[in-house]
Amino acid sequence: MRPITAVIAGLIAISGASAATEPPISDLGSAASRTGLEAACKETACRPEQDISQKLGGGRSVSWHAPASPYVDKNGALYVLPGEMLVFHVEVKEGERVAPVFLRSEPPPPPGDVSLLNDQERKNAAADKDNEVAMAQAFADWHASKNMRDRLKDAPPDTLFVYYRQIPNGASMILETGHNLEGTLKFDASIGRFGRQLFVYEHSSTCGAISGLGSLETWPYPLGPILLGNFRLLPGKVATCE
C-alpha cells in the first residue's frame, strides 16, 4: 500500500501505512517465554494479563490471551496492545535520542458516530480509499472526545500519548500518537499480523509526529500488538513518512 500524508484541519499528520516483513524491533514481539516476561516485570512497569477479542472481517472474530508484559522494553521500544491509551514521559538524550518512560494507562474514550461527520470530513476520509473506513472513524472519535491537540494542551511538558484501537464496526486499526516536545518525533513500527502462530511481525511505514499536533496511522486489516521503537527527534515541522 502506498502511504499518503496530509494535515487535516491543522490537527494531525496522517498516513495510510505500508508494510514489509522483517524481524520485530523488540524481543517482546517474539514468542517470549512466560518466565522471561515474569522476570522483566520484576524490573519495570507491566500491564496485567488479559484476554483480547478482535474482529477479523467477514463475520469472523478471534480471542487471544496476552500475558503480563512490559509497556517499555530495555531498549526503549513500546509494546502496545489493541484498545490501549498509554501516557509516557519522554527523556531526550544526546540532543535527539528519545527514551519514553511509562506513566499510566487511561481508559479509552468512547467511539464517535460516523453518521455525524460533515461533508468535508467525509471527503477527507475518502481521499485514502484503502483506509476510508478507519479515517472516518478517527474523525468521528475526535468529535466524541478530545482530539490529540486538545490532550496535549493540558499535558505537562515532554509528554507522549499513544492510542491504539480497532474500529467498532469493522476490522481496521487506528494508531494515534501525540507529543509536546520541541521538534518532530519519528519512530519505527512493527505490526503484529495474524498468522498460523498467532502473530507475524512486519515493518510498517510511519509519519513523523509534529509537536502539538500528532500523527495518525491506519491499516485496513486487523492487527494484534504493535511495537514502536527507535524514537528520535527531527528538527522542524516536517511529517515525513517512511
How much is the average pLDDT of 42-56? 94
Whole-prediction pTM = 0.87
pLDDT, residue 12, reads 39
Q: Can you read off the three cell numbers belonging to residue 189?
A: 513500527
Rounded Cα distance, 240 and 14, in Å: 10
Domains of the chain, by residue range, sit at: 5-33+79-234
The string of pLDDT tens digits covering residues 154-203 is: 899 999 999 999 999 999 999 999 999 989 999 999 999 998 877 889 99
In angstroms, how far is CA 135 from the centroid of its own chain? 14
pLDDT, residue 35, reads 66
Give, as one character, the DSSP assignment of residue 5: E
Share the mean pLDDT of the chain.
86
pLDDT, residue 20, reads 54
User: How many angstroms separate the Cα of 172 from the Cα of each of 33, 44, 56, 112, 168?
Assistant: 29, 31, 9, 15, 9
The string of pLDDT tens digits covering residues 1-37 is: 323 222 333 333 444 555 555 556 777 766 455 667 7
Q: What is 25-38 written as a DSSP string? A: SSGGGS---HHHHH
Q: Which residues contact 233 (CB under 8 A, 6 or more apart)?
A: 92, 95, 96, 97, 98, 181, 182, 183, 184, 185, 186
How much is the average pLDDT of 89-114? 91
The string of pLDDT tens digits covering residues 199-218 is: 889 999 899 999 998 789 99
pLDDT, residue 156, reads 96
pLDDT, residue 124, reads 96
Rounded Cα distance, 11 and 142, in Å: 10
The string of pLDDT tens digits covering residues 220-232 is: 999 999 999 999 9
pLDDT > 90 fraction of the chain, expressed in percent and rounded:
64
Q: Report yes or no: 100 and 89 within 8 Å, Cβ to Cβ.
A: yes
pLDDT, residue 175, reads 97
Rounded Cα distance, 37 and 75, in Å: 15
pLDDT, residue 21, reads 52
**144 vs 23 pLDDT, higher one:** 144
**30 vs 237 pLDDT, higher one:** 237
Which of 184, 198, 172 lies closest to 234 in space, CA to CA? Answer: 184
pLDDT confidence of 130, banded at 50, 70, 90?
very high
Which of 142, 46, 55 lies closest to 86 in space, CA to CA? Answer: 46
DSSP element (H, E) containing 13: strand 12-16
Strand-strand pairing, 215-219 and 12-16: parallel
pLDDT, residue 6, reads 29
